[in-house]
Structure 1
Amino acid sequence: MDEVKVVVAHSQRATLRVGDVFLKVDTDQTRIDVEIEAMSLAPVPTPEVLWHKPPVLATAALPGTTLGRLGGPSTGSPAAWAAAGAAIRKLHDAPLPPRPGRSIAALVADLDGECEWLVTNGVLPADLVTRNREVAEAALRPWTPVFTHGDLQIAHVFVDGDEVTGIIDWSEAAQGDALFDLATFTLGHEEHLDDVIAGYGTDIDLDVIHAWWSLRSLLIVRSLIEQGLDPFAPGCEVDVLRSRM
């Protein structure tokens, strides 16, 4: 009998692997619906949907391995990172998905609320939060919406050699800022940003990438702590914030 492996598990959802099948358990049917629709629309390789019986979505495993993980080393070559950049560009050039993303006003409100919580509760030093809030401001500008993955961590991109074999976890897919996807993908792996941009194929405003690194990290620290995850681990979100000082 195949071993059951817990891929990720927290209060919102859990993903299990049984043999060559991934089982995602999510009580929020909206997230599952968004994921299924996004995978059907995305012009890049995605997992095959095997069946869906709420609250469980079953998908086939992808060949290859991930490019790495936040806080860990990258196992991918520069060519693999460039291939990922080309795949992201293909996604961003696709017709928009129906789901709208967060507005700038909503982002500002969320960001200010999280910054206040981090300082008031003594989670992070006030000067660290203030500096990164200043850096984050560059991301809060008008952008032309594109088809974004919305949670494009490197652990969500699979490669075999220098070829992208698939991208997983599409529950946050929406219309959004292209540079947010690029920043999420390179978070904690700044050394590969040039490779990704080379594959992406257009000029990128690096100040905005840096801003999204700060903004995403500030927004997610509380959520990670509440889920029992550790944003203070080496190379993770708090280290990303410290690197902006």
Structure 2
Amino acid sequence: MADVEEVEVVVAHQARATLRVGEVFLKIDADQANTDVEVEAMALAPIPTPEVLWRNPPVLALAALPGSALGRLGEPSTASSAAWAAAGAAVRLLHDAPLPPRPGRSVEEIGAELDAECAWLLTNGVLPADVVTRNRAVAGAALRPWTPVFTHGDLQITHVFVHGDVITGVIDWSEAAQGDALYDLATLTLGHEERLGDVLSGYGTDVDLDVIRAWWSLRSLRGIRWLVEHGFDPAAPGCEIDVLRSRM
């Protein structure tokens, strides 16, 4: 590898770290099963993904994607409506693809985890009881039977790269599995619900908006403890706690 000016720490916490060295991303994961899932999912996905340059456990080297992320949680997205629609079209291609081998979690497992996280939020006084109770009620609409599709599983807007109005690739596939299509759509638009119409115009089919709203609440409730324990701030403006308060 040629000399580079610096090594950029993209993300680092107890579970994994990602470094950028020039045009190469180095992903270091404590659990190589996550990397196995990621490599397999990228090979199966019918949409652009980073090129795998090499793998030497615990490190996975990926080529950088052109363009920039669709946006960031807590910040206004400068991407065009066409770019958001293109993201919706890419998600539809993924959901129409043959199922990946990894099964997702059951409705019962997700519900049990959600109840445990709500109890933690209340016990530790992280949120007012009425915010937790209201959002737990909203989240219940997501806990219903669904037809499994090929889901990315963590389709945050920082994981979708665009150049102009074109999707150049989607990163971070370690959560890919059979799952609910509306979970991916909700994750992509979390904190950016004003962009949901653009995404759905590209996705091209009717969806249950109440279920997408339910996943916004569920993902936020379920994620706060993990974020706090891994050094992130769910109370930052526009992030998970604001998403929950907006449901009141």
Q: Number of aligned pairs?
A: 245
Whether 1:150 aligns to 2:146 is no
What is the match of residue 67 of structure 1?
70
What is the match of residue 132 of structure 2?
129
Which of 111, 115, 123 is equivalent to 1:112? 115
Whether 1:195 aligns to 2:198 is yes
Give runs of aligned pairs for residues 29-178 of structure 1, distance below 5 A. 29-178=32-181
**TM-aligned CA deviation for residue 27 of structure 1:** 1.4
Report the residue type matching 2:66 in the other structure. Answer: P
List structure 1 segments (4+ residues) > 2 angstroms apart after TM superposition. Answer: none
Q: Secondary structure at the match of 2:153?
A: coil
Report the residue type matching 1:231 in the other structure. Answer: P
Report the residue type matching 1:218 in the other structure. Answer: L
* C-alpha separation in 2, matches of 1:78 and 1:37: 31
**TM-aligned CA deviation for residue 232 of structure 1:** 0.1
Q: Secondary structure at the match of 2:182?
A: helix
What is the match of residue 243 of structure 1?
246
Q: Provide, for residues 91-132 of structure 1, a one-character-per-residue CA deviation record: whole Å limited to 9, x for no partner.
A: 000000000001000011000000000001111111100000
**TM-aligned CA deviation for residue 75 of structure 1:** 2.0
* C-alpha separation in 1, matches of 2:109 and 2:59: 30
Whether 1:207 aligns to 2:210 is yes
Q: Provide, for residues 118-156 of structure 1, a one-character-per-residue CA deviation record: whole Å limited to 9, x for no partner.
A: 001111111100000000000000000000000000000
Q: Secondary structure at the match of 1:147?
A: strand
Report the residue type matching 1:48 in the other structure. Answer: E
Give the alignment's TM-score, normalised by structure 1.
0.99
Long gaps (5+) in structure 2? none
Report the residue type matching 1:180 in the other structure. Answer: Y
**TM-aligned CA deviation for residue 72 of structure 1:** 1.1
Long gaps (5+) in structure 1? none
Report the residue type matching 1:39 in the other structure. Answer: M
Over aligned residues, Cα RMSD in angstroms?
A: 0.5
* C-alpha separation in 2, matches of 1:223 and 1:172: 15
* C-alpha separation in 1, matches of 2:24 and 2:240: 30
Q: Provide, for residues 162-212 of structure 1, a one-character-per-residue CA deviation record: whole Å limited to 9, x for no partner.
A: 000000000000000000000000000011000000000000110000000
